[in-house]
Amino acid sequence: MGLTSNKVLALAFVCAVLLFVGTVWLWPRLARRNWRAVSGRVGLLLATQLVLFVSVGLGANQAFGFYASWSDLFGRETDQGVVVDHTALRGAGGPLHVVGTRRVDAPGGASLPSSVGQVQRVDIVGRTTHIASPAYVYLPPEYFQPRYRTRTFPATVVLTGYPGTAQALVDKLNYPRTALQLAKDGRMRPMILVMLRPTVAPPRDTECVDVPGGPHTESFFAKDLPDAVTAHYRVGKMPGSWGIVGDSTGGYCALKLAMHHPGVYAAGAGLSPYYKAPTDPTTGDLFQGDETLRNEANLWWYLKHRPAPDTSLLVTSSKAGEHNYKDTLKFIDRVRANNSTRIASIILDSGGHNFNTWRREIPATLEWLSGRLGNG
């Protein structure tokens, strides 16, 4: 049974209840002061608390999508790492291969792609970086309707935080369902969403940096990913057709990619972002002594020392509950001083660094992105 399986969560909960009942039932028999009774009491208490801890952890993982599998949890995931797969680059499938489809959950029970759109599970292999990554692609209903058969659509890359799971963008943050409803309400144009996590070499957190010697994560998101999607789907090829959004680590990546590559991403939105790549045990040595690389990963330095990028940025925070609030206000002021870069914000009165807060910000963010992208 998988880590995110409801059966695992239910089994842990049942075990916790049984251990609690067993502790209450057996406690009188273990009330003596000999070593067996004392050991029994300690064992029951530890077992009950351990199972309760596991149940809470499993529930939190279900809600926030921290880890996708047991191997991901224990740092043994290797099947989504950096590969050089020459076979995958040949043939009709190209750098993007569809491996599954699912309907978009929508009110009313409609299931046809022409009514509710479709989510496709895909594998992508970068032609230049040779990075392999799974992703989910949301295609709006219009993509399947005959009157739009020659139309191209704007596209937005949607990134998780670290470590994150791409599936959480579909099932927990509800990006496809939100985009569908916004388009039906006339608040945004139909848009293709490419949903994945920035962790392309798990368990390492590359912070969307072109690490010397690899992986070249920034190049993957700036070139390989748009090229693969454009080659497979009807996405606009002209500048201004692409946007990017993410939360936490994904938010930092979205801002950096829009600033570094304004010719690719006409708009970038960071939900609860930070503004400088960290260095910690999850990242390792990202820069390997390259000060230019280190500086350019620092958005404060980039705003001061590089020409203002011609792009639009959106940042979010909360007055209470978010640690990036003061930095976000400072970042807004810094960007406003640049004539070529446009800045907007969503500031909540309160909200933590979690899915519930981001779900409150996503509708306005998608609407904002839609207003800044063209069909190309």
Asked whether the beta carbons of 254 and 246 are under 8 A apart, the reply is yes
The pLDDT value recorded for residue 77 is 52
37 — pLDDT class (breaks 50, 70, 90)? confident
Q: Label residue 36 exposed, middle or buried (CB < 10 Å: 0-12, 13-18, 19+).
A: exposed
Asked whether the beta carbons of 192 and 235 are under 8 A apart, the reply is yes
CA distances from 313 to 107, 119, 221, 346 (A): 32, 27, 17, 11
The pLDDT value recorded for residue 88 is 40
Q: CA torsion angle for 311, 253, 224, 180 (degrees, to 10)?
A: -80
The Cα 141–Cα 300 span in angstroms is 40
The Cα 135–Cα 158 span in angstroms is 10
pLDDT over 70 (residue 70): no
Task: Compute the residue count for the chain.
Answer: 376
pTM of the model: 0.80
Over residues 218-235, the pLDDT tens digits come to 999 999 999 999 999 999
Q: CA torsion angle for 42, 48, 49, 52 (degrees, to 10)?
A: 180
The pLDDT value recorded for residue 342 is 95
Over residues 297-326, the pLDDT tens digits come to 999 999 999 999 999 999 999 999 999 999
Looking at per-residue pLDDT, the higher value among 201 and 217 belongs to 217
Read off the DSSP letter of residue 269: E
Over residues 87-108, the pLDDT tens digits come to 444 444 579 999 999 989 877 6
Name the nearest CA neighbour of 206 among 270, 135, 282: 282
**Mean pLDDT across 157-173:** 94
